[in-house]
Amino acid sequence: MSVVGRSAPDQRASGPASERARADLEVDAASLPGRLIIVEGIDGSGKSTQIDLLYKWLVGQGYLTIYTEWNSAPIVRATTRRGKRRQLLTPMSFSLIHAADFANRVYSAVLPAMRAGAVVLADRYSYTAFARDAARGVPRQWLRRLYSFAVTPTLAFYFDVPLQEAMRRISSARAGIKYYEAGMDLGLSDDVIESFRIFQGRIIDEYGRLAEEFGLTRIDATDTLVRQQQQIRALVAPHLEGVRRVEGGDVQEALRAADLSGRYVQLPALRSEQRA
């Protein structure tokens, strides 16, 4: 089955009800008519700009395209915001909250859209949790089991950017760096900039592991915006055969016909990569 990870058989419940639930979880992405394309990278890598450009290109080509992003479930986002504001989140609680958000995202956005034959573009996927949570000390194998329901992407791009360049981009675009984004909860340094540098360096190291383990496609995020997008489109194009196209360009009508509606079908604006 095409999933990101898998729990050991003896760790699962048994019985008719659990068998039905497990059958719904164990989705073979290759059997679905849609495609799932994701982007990953540290803050300041430029991935959100590139996925926005890809979205607009796909829509312009007439493909039914859905966009979804990390930490997007309203209830989970509100909980995370309160926890961050009061600085109550531990590495494990952070991990579990984001896993709940991700599960909501998969079942409310990714799978329905793929079953309807759409191209799903995801700004961050389970690899974000694998990288960030492991950088906070959460066991890697525990994370693989936690996200074992995640459908394997058709393509997974990793925007590889040197830490100093990412820090330069962030400092020029923001007024400051947030507490959890800088990993201040880990006690790495009393200086927010130094803590950010250490924490993001750990995340880069984890992404290096993930690129090897899961075969993420590396994109040189220091290349020009145009060349990056050209490379991405060239890699995406061969996977579009058989994907649903919108007759006459009426995307909203096609979404309604496929019973796809809600927050995750909005046109993505260019986003500053500020989610921690």
Residue 212 counted as domain residue: yes
Pairwise CA distance, residues 273 & 265, whole Å: 19
Q: Would you say residue 4 lies in a domain?
A: no
| Structural domain includes residue 12 | no
Residue 180 lies in a domain: yes
**Chain-wide mean pLDDT for the chain?**
82
Domain membership of residue 241 (yes or no) is yes
CATH number at residue 188: 3.40.50.300
**Is 276 within the bounds of a domain?**
no
**158 occurs within a structural domain:** yes
**Contact between 274 and 170 (Cβ < 8 Å):** no
Which pLDDT tens digit goes with each residue over 11-59?
Answer: 333 444 334 334 444 556 678 899 999 999 999 999 999 999 999 999 9
Domain residues for 184? Answer: 33-265
Structural domain includes residue 96 = yes
Q: Which two tokens stand for residue 32?
A: 């679905």
Count up the domains in the chain and report the number. Answer: 1
Residue 93 has pLDDT above 80, yes or no: yes
User: At CB < 8 A and 24+ separation, what contacts does 172-181 make?
Assistant: 173/272, 174/272, 174/274, 178/84, 178/274, 178/276, 179/84, 179/87, 179/276, 180/84, 180/89, 180/94, 180/276, 181/43, 181/274, 181/276
220-231 pLDDT per residue, tens: 999 999 999 999
